[in-house]
Amino acid sequence: MATLDAIIIGAGFSGLYQLYTLRDQLNLNCHLFEAADEVGGTWHWNQYPGARCDTESQAYCYYFNKKIYNEWNWTERYPSQQEVKDYLKFVAKKLNLFRSISFSSNVKEMKYFDKTNKWKIQLDGGNTFDARFVIMATGCLSSENLPIIANQEKFKGKILHTGKWPKENIKFNDLDVGVVGTGSTGIQVIPEIAKTVKSLTVFQRTPNYSIPARNQKLNLKELNLHKNNFEYLKNVSINNRHGHPWKHSTTPIHQVGSVKDSMVLNKAWEHGGLSFRDSFSNINYDECANSVVSNFIINKIQETVNDPVTANDLSDFDYPFGAKRPALDTHYFETFNQENVKLISIKKTPIDSFNHNGVLVNSIHYPLDIVVFATGFDAITGSLLKINIIGKKGKNLKSEWKKEPINLLGLQIPNFPNLFTITGPGSPSVLTNMPRAIEQHVDWVTMCISKLINMKKNKIEASHSAALAWLDEVKLESERTMFLKTSNSWYLGTNVKGKPKGFIPYSGGLDKYTNICNAIAQNGYKGFIIS
């Protein structure tokens, strides 16, 4: 391979679009390396039963190309994991991207050389490639978090993690299965597994608020409505906080009176989906308003679940709605009314250990054939830190980020010139509909590289002081929200042992963030050092 202008790492939504813009819009010599054997990113690895996106399909796709938008026909309100993967394959084929992608190519190490202003990328197996620019499109939720539990090696059954689900068809029929974890993933996988198992034991450390998804097949009329309203959907999505194609309410919860409050909430509940969070303007900012919504959901759980002890365990929240990422579900709470399903709260007594045929909790043995860990991810920073990244003067990213993930706008890291992170820490990323945040980042990076080339400059790098000031801004924004009203969430990094604690994404909204990024670019990339 000839010397490259740019290397892109990861073939999910970010990497594919970045490859297209750099290769076909800027005419750069680019190549993309992907660890998996297919496109898809997180949607490749998370192929567990029930995996489905909780953003609606008309918005969980690219908006940069209207023709592609019109050619693809989604079949359901929320796309299944397989359908998202098929969609990404379709886009990659349409844009003729496959010829610039190497699959089964895991990047192990990358090092910057000041003298040549080049990055050297090394793959597992030793092959190396040089490029001036590197774009990390490694995903926010791509590094699985597998707890270490004593005597795991003694277990004779199968241990699976939802985030690295095997390709083979796993049969649960007539088996005793345990699921650990009740976040968005657990809430999706539990009802699916419960359909065929002999018994399902759910080990819950923290209950999760969940809203009905109300998934359904899309008919031609609905599909056409989305296509005919493309410009409107796009406009609404990029000009709001969360990147979804609806406007959030501007009415605070107590302004309309409690009967009306509950009417509005009931209507949003019946409609289903994440727009429930936006049914009032102050749910994420005002504790009193939030408690109305939290109590509304608690009542729904208690009405749904027959056994009062299970209902209480499922709704025993020690944090407000939205402090942790709420889930969308299809009959999650109803699943606990099945005779073959039981909930074990491990809040006070964690799983003690494995033995050859199950796990022990509080000296009670639970016999199991399969244990499914739906225990989430080392989010946002995990997939970057899995690679040994060495910047200027031998600076290692792991050491640089030991205390906090210092970066500017989630786009660049001081001492790591010409390295860009798509939806990196300190950007809205996981707080938004991801494709909108991704397109905004990719467009910004593409414009930045184009300007550098036109200005005949060699490199761009975040300044240390600007990066620290941005981290202050990220903290300030988070203090205005409910996100800090829990001591434990993957947003805070507390789910991973040894990870620095602090709210990672930017919570000021995608609209505000986009304006900040654009202003910085128009202002000669203030805060960045160009040389």
Residues lying near ligand N01 in the complex (CB under 6 A) are found at 52-54, 141, 147, 180-186, 188, 205-206, 325, 346, 350, 374-377, 430, 488, 490, 495
Please report how close the Cβ of residue 284 comes to ligand N01 at its closest, in angstroms: 15
**Between 327 and 466, CB nearer to ligand N01:** 327
Tokens linked to 1: 């391979």
Please report how close the Cβ of residue 281 comes to ligand N01 at its closest, in angstroms: 22
Within 10 A of 340 (CB to CB), how many other CB atoms are there? 15
Residue number of the CB closest to ligand N01 reads 183
Please report how close the Cβ of residue 251 comes to ligand N01 at its closest, in angstroms: 27
DSSP label at residue 412: B
Are residues 203 and 361 in contact, defined by beta-carbon separation less than 8 angstroms?
yes
**Between 304 and 330, CB nearer to ligand N01:** 330
**Between 157 and 376, CB nearer to ligand N01:** 376
Closest CA to 137 of 41, 1, 24, 27: 41
| Alpha carbon distances (Å) from 230 to 62, 79, 222, 364 | 11, 18, 12, 56
**Between 40 and 183, CB nearer to ligand N01:** 183
**Between 321 and 377, CB nearer to ligand N01:** 377
Residue with tokens 């210092």: 406
DSSP per-residue codes, 169-186? ----BT-EEEEE--SHHH
**Between 36 and 146, CB nearer to ligand N01:** 146
Closest CA to 331 of 215, 219, 218: 215
Count of residues for the chain?
531
Are residues 527 and 408 in contact, defined by beta-carbon separation less than 8 angstroms?
yes
Please report how close the Cβ of residue 374 comes to ligand N01 at its closest, in angstroms: 6
**Between 433 and 514, CB nearer to ligand N01:** 433
Compute the distance between CA of residue 420 and CA of residue 409 in angstroms, rounded to an integer. Answer: 10
Provide the pairing of β-strand 460-462 with 118-123: unpaired
Please report how close the Cβ of residue 498 comes to ligand N01 at its closest, in angstroms: 14
Please report how close the Cβ of residue 96 comes to ligand N01 at its closest, in angstroms: 29
**Between 133 and 373, CB nearer to ligand N01:** 373
Are residues 145 and 377 in contact, defined by beta-carbon separation less than 8 angstroms?
yes
Type and span of the H or E element at 311: helix 308-314
Compute the distance between CA of residue 442 and CA of residue 425 in angstroms, rounded to an integer. Answer: 15
With H, G, I as helix, E, B as strand and everything else as coil, classify residue 81: helix
Please report how close the Cβ of residue 329 comes to ligand N01 at its closest, in angstroms: 9
